[in-house]
Amino acid sequence: MAKVLIIGAGGVGNVVAKKCAMNSDVFTDILLASRTIEKCNKIRDEIKKYIGVDIQTAQVDADNVSELVSLFNKFKPDVVINVALPYQDLTIMDACLEAGVNYLDTANYEPKDTAKFEYKWQWAYQDKFKEAGLMAVLGCGFDPGVTGVFTAYALKHIYDEIYQIDILDCNAGNHGYPFATNFNPEINIREVTQVVRHWDNGKWVETPPIIEEGSVHFTFNYPQIGPRESYLLYHEELESLAKNVKGIKKIRFWMTFSENYLTHLKVLRNVGMTRIDEVDYKGCKVVPMEFLRYLLPDPASLAERYTGLTNIGNIFDGVKDGKRFKKYIYNVCDHAECYKEVQSQAISYTTGVPAMIGAMMMVKGIWAKPGVYNVEELDPDEFMNQLNKQGLPWVVEDFNGELPE
């Protein structure tokens, strides 16, 4: 018997709401709230039609703490799943503290005017959540999220110590558009145009952004997909894993990008369309990136025509009983299958399913520690079990291939 409140009715919110409804033995009351109520109502109607479950909807401005608090006090959720945008993380955490509700999200807070991916703002809530006896779980999508759970699993069951983690994220799907992003365009483009960092021997090493000369990339042969060019990219879980995995020497994140995607991105950047500062357009203040977001396809709308596979996983290098070896843990997901199940593409699906599972761990009391946590700090076993049951089965293999130095 648990009440869940989901904030955000975009591509990921659609998956979270539907997967919660498919687990209505655990989530007995579901409320989906977002800025645009029509989007919530569309998802509600699909849930009734395809899953046969009734959910409630509400309009809320998640930038406004008092609006959130009155919604929380009215519905009295056991947990809030935040799948709005990273800009809303702190206001939703504040409202959770005020109303006495547990919190979970899939992306770290970033201020709107600077593209900074750091956990420091949310980690600063540690004492407040502890003192309130509440739990906040940060970054519980796939990456960050499952990549951290895979790490906790490897540390618990495979290794005594892990020296190196390479996270590899491949989307080999095709949506048929010349250029589109797989999740919120503004957040996605901010992420991929930044200077790249990876963790090496106790310090951050910087390399050029993926669209610049000198960016670091190599060809990796993804299981079930084949060779794809993979670019070194900064991703937020590098920060929490560097802190939470004792003895770790190196952590890198690689993501596949096509030549076509990179060319579009370069042009957009070169003509100023990815700027996040205000420009004056005929007396009207416009942020080019926000405007671009409105021109690009809505990520949720890609789902119907998306085909192909994603493969996201971690390659670990570590030691057990004095023996050094590498293991690869990954999931393969099929865009078209996600559409059949929940009218979604695989990027939203691989984010939304882990968010639902994380909330399930919390309401079942399996993850129940007051304070603010990244997923690798929590027990992985039942989460890994649920990944297999809820549509994201994983594979553990020996890895004997090559990774660049």
User: Alpha-carbon distance 15 to 352, whole Å?
Assistant: 5
Subset of 179-218 contacting ligand NDP (CB under 6 A): 183-184, 187
Residue 299 makes contact with ligand NDP by CB under 6 A: yes
User: Alpha-carbon distance 155 to 384, whole Å?
Assistant: 13
CB of 229 to ligand NDP, least distance (A): 21
CB of 40 to ligand NDP, least distance (A): 8
Contact present, 220 and 235 (Cβ < 8 Å)? no
Figure out which of the listed residues 2, 5, 6, 8 binds ligand NDP, where binding follows CB under 6 A: 8
Contact present, 146 and 358 (Cβ < 8 Å)? no
Subset of 22-51 contacting ligand NDP (CB under 6 A): 34-36, 39
Residue nearest to ligand NDP (CB): 10
Contact present, 342 and 115 (Cβ < 8 Å)? no
Residue 88 makes contact with ligand NDP by CB under 6 A: yes
Amino acid 135 reads M
Contact present, 364 and 109 (Cβ < 8 Å)? no
CB of 145 to ligand NDP, least distance (A): 5
Residue closer to ligand NDP by CB (options 132, 342) is 342
248: alpha, beta or left, given left = phi > 0 and alpha = psi -120 to 50?
Answer: beta
Residue closer to ligand NDP by CB (options 242, 375) is 375
CB of 15 to ligand NDP, least distance (A): 8
* 343 Cβ contact list (under 8 Å, min separation 6): 14, 18, 46, 50, 303, 304
User: Alpha-carbon distance 210 to 400, whole Å?
Assistant: 27
Residue 144 makes contact with ligand NDP by CB under 6 A: yes
CB of 156 to ligand NDP, least distance (A): 22
Q: Which residues bind to ligand NDP, rule: CB under 6 A?
A: 8-13, 34-36, 39, 60-63, 83-86, 88, 106-107, 139, 141-145, 183-184, 187, 299-300, 347-348, 351
